[in-house]
Amino acid sequence: MISCQSITIHRSFIGNVRHLVRTFMTQGFPNSSVSSLNEEQIKGKYDIIIAGGGMVGCTLACALGKNSVLQNMKILLLESSPNKKYDLKKEYSNRVVALNQNTKSLMNSLKVWEHVENMRLQPVRNMQVWDACSDALISFTSSDMMGDDIAYIVENDLLLHAVNTELTSPSVKNVQIVYGAKISGYKLTRETSDCNIVKLDNGDTYLCDLLIGADGANSAVRNAMGVQYLSWSYDQMGVVATLYLAEECENTTAWQRWLPQGPIALLPLDSKRSSLVWSTSIDHAKELLSLPEEQFVDSINDALWKEYPRNSAVERTLRWLQSARALPPSARAALRQSRAAFPLGFGHSTRYVAPAVALVGDAAHRVHPLAGQGVNLGFGDVKDLAQLLSDAVYQGLDITHHSWLEKYESVRQRHNVPTQLAVDLLHRLYTWQQPPVLWLRSVGLQLTHAAEPLKKLIMTQAST
Ligand SMILES: Cc1cc2nc3c(=O)[nH]c(=O)nc-3n(C[C@H](O)[C@H](O)[C@H](O)COP(=O)(O)OP(=O)(O)OC[C@H]3O[C@@H](n4cnc5c(N)ncnc54)[C@H](O)[C@@H]3O)c2cc1C
C-alpha cells in the first residue's frame, strides 16, 4: 500500500528533480539573453527573485522559505533601502495598519504573530462609522465577528521587524536578502524555459526562473511586464499623526467620521494614544501639516465634533431609523514630528502574471485607506501564491508553470477587484454631497446598521 506521505515525497521529488535539471541546463548552456551579459556582473542564478522587501515582499519571502515543499528553491529578496536596525521605541510610529483576521492567521502560521504580540498591538473590538452631514451611522462589535477581534492596529515598522525576525531565523535556510539593492532594469523572458534578468544600478546582475514584483504602487516589474494599469488619483492625501487622548480609556474602538472632504479616523494604540488617518483634499492636507500644534489638534477635534448643516428630508427619514451614537474621544496633543501626509490613489493591474512573472501587494492593486484593506489584500496574495507555487511543485511541475500562475491571478482578482470597487464606491458616495446621494447613503447606512446578517457579511468580506 502506498501511503500519503510517500506520494508527497514522490511528487515533490519529481518537481525538485525537474528543477535541478533546469538549473543545470541554464547554468551550463546559457540562453540567448543571458549569453549577451558580462559574466563578471552575474552574481547568481535563483529559482525565485522577489523584487521589493516591504511588508508584502518580506512576508512572501518568509512564507516561501518556510514551505517544506519549496525547501530546495533558491530564493533572493532584493530591497533598495538599507538594512536598518529596529528598536522598539516608547513612542508609537505614525505609520500603522489595521490587520484583519486573515492576516493574523497567516502571521500565526509563520510564527510572526508571536513576535508582534511580544512587542505591541492594540485589538479593535468596536468600530463606529458616522456621517458628519446626517445622523446616519453604522457600528460593529466583536459579536459581528463571532467574538473575534475586528482588527489589530500594528505599526508598519514593527510588523516588518517581526517578519524579518522569522525570515532571518534558522527556520528559513533558502532565502538570501540583499539590502541597498536598487533595481534599475529587468529583461523579462518571453518563454518559461528562459531566465529573467534583474539588473541593479551598480551593475550587479541576477538571473531567475520566477520573478515576483513586490515593489509597490509604482512597480517597475509591472512596467516591464507591459500590462495595462488602470489608475487614478483621489486628489486627496492621507494625513497621519500619533495623538494623545484628552482622557485615558480602554480604547479598543476605531472611530471614523465622514466629512465632506473625506473621512477622519482614529485608530486605537493604547489607553492614552490613537493614530490619526485623515483623508482630505491636497490643499487642506498641506495646511494641516503647516499648522502650529495647538491649531492642528483643534482642527482634529473640530473634525470629530463640529455640527454640519443638515438636510431636512434626510433628517425626517432618519427619525424613523434612529440609533444611539457613542461619543468619540477628543485629542489633547499630537506627538511632535509625527505629522506626515501620503498621496492616495486607486490602481488595478489588469494582469497579475506574465510568463515567469507575478505581482503581489500594491504592485498589483492599490486602494483608498478608508477601509483599512490595502496591505491585507497584499497578505492575501502572499497566502494564495505561496500555496499555489507549493501545489505546482508538489504535482511535479515547474514553479513557472503558466496555468498555476494564471490560477493565482484568477483567485486573487476574484477577491481583490470587488473589494477595490466597493472601497472606491464608498469613497465616491461620501464625497458627493448632492441631496439625493446624501439621502441614499444615510438611509442605506442606517438600514445596514439595523440588518445584523448584512453586517456580519460585510465583516466576513473585510476579514478575508
Ligand atoms: C495613510 C495610509 C494608511 C493606510 N492604512 C492601511 C490600513 O490600515 N490597513 C491596510 O491594510 N493597509 C493600509 N494602507 C495601505 C498599505 O500601507 C499598503 O498597502 C502597503 O504598504 C503595501 O505594501 P507593499 O509591500 O505591497 O508595498 P510597499 O510598502 O510600497 O513596498 C515596496 C517595497 O519595494 C521596494 N522597492 C521599490 N522599488 C524598488 C527597486 N527598484 N529596487 C529595489 N526595491 C524596490 C521599496 O523600497 C519598498 O520596500 C495604508 C496606506 C496609507 C497611505
pLDDT per residue as tens, the chain (464 positions)? 333 333 444 455 555 545 544 444 444 334 555 666 777 789 999 999 999 999 999 999 999 999 999 999 999 999 999 999 999 999 999 999 999 999 999 999 999 999 999 999 999 999 999 888 787 778 888 876 777 899 999 999 999 999 999 999 999 999 999 999 999 999 998 765 689 999 999 999 999 999 999 999 999 999 999 999 999 999 999 999 999 999 999 999 999 999 989 999 999 999 999 999 999 999 999 999 999 999 999 999 999 999 887 776 666 666 666 667 788 999 999 999 999 999 999 999 999 999 999 999 999 999 999 999 999 999 999 999 999 999 999 999 999 999 999 999 999 999 999 999 999 988 888 777 777 777 777 767 766 767 676 667 777 767 77
Measured in Å, residue 415 CA sits from the centre of ligand 1 at 19
- Residue 18 vs residues 123, 392, 395, 400: alpha-carbon distances, Å: 46, 12, 11, 12
| Cα angle value 294/368/412 (rounded, 5°) | 150
Measured in Å, residue 319 CA sits from the centre of ligand 1 at 43
The CATH number for 339's domain is 3.50.50.60
Residue nearest to atom 35 of ligand 1 (CA): 52
- What ligand 1 atom has the least distance to the C-alpha of 103? 11
**What's the half-sphere exposure (Cβ side, CA atoms, 13 Å) at 370?**
31
pLDDT on residue 8: 41
Measured in Å, residue 345 CA sits from the centre of ligand 1 at 13
CB of 163 within 6 A of ligand 1: the answer is no
Measured in Å, residue 79 CA sits from the centre of ligand 1 at 13
CB of 54 within 6 A of ligand 1: the answer is yes
- Residue 263 vs residues 3, 231, 382, 444: alpha-carbon distances, Å: 57, 21, 29, 18
Measured in Å, residue 116 CA sits from the centre of ligand 1 at 19
Measured in Å, residue 367 CA sits from the centre of ligand 1 at 11
pLDDT on residue 437: 72
Q: In a 3-state reduction of DSSP, which class is residue 157?
A: helix
CB of 240 within 6 A of ligand 1: the answer is yes
Q: What total number of domains does the chain contain? A: 1
Q: Which domain, by its residues, includes 327? A: 4-462
pLDDT on residue 20: 47
Q: 239-270: string of b/e by CB count within 10 Å (b at 16+)?
A: bbbbbebeeeeebbbbbbbbbebbbbbbbbbe
Cα–Cα distance, 130 to 263 (Å, whole number): 9
CB of 15 within 6 A of ligand 1: the answer is no
CA dihedral 157, 254, 101, 404 (to 10 degrees): -70
pLDDT on residue 320: 63
pLDDT on residue 34: 60
Write down the number of H helices and E strands in the chain: 14, 20
- What ligand 1 atom has the least distance to the C-alpha of 217? 30
Rg (CA), the chain: 24
CB of 385 within 6 A of ligand 1: the answer is no
Residue type, 340: A
Cα–Cα distance, 459 to 222 (Å, whole number): 31
Measured in Å, residue 399 CA sits from the centre of ligand 1 at 26
CB of 53 within 6 A of ligand 1: the answer is yes
pLDDT on residue 287: 98
Cα–Cα distance, 176 to 170 (Å, whole number): 12
Measured in Å, residue 217 CA sits from the centre of ligand 1 at 7
CB of 213 within 6 A of ligand 1: the answer is no
Query: Probe ligand 1: pick from 62, 97, 342, max atoms within 8 Å of CB?
Result: 97
Please give the grid coordinates belonging to residue 26: 541554464
Cα–Cα distance, 268 to 14 (Å, whole number): 50
pLDDT on residue 145: 72
Residues 359 and 222 sit within 8 Å (Cβ to Cβ): yes
CB of 369 within 6 A of ligand 1: the answer is yes
CB of 79 within 6 A of ligand 1: the answer is yes
Residues 215 and 58 sit within 8 Å (Cβ to Cβ): no
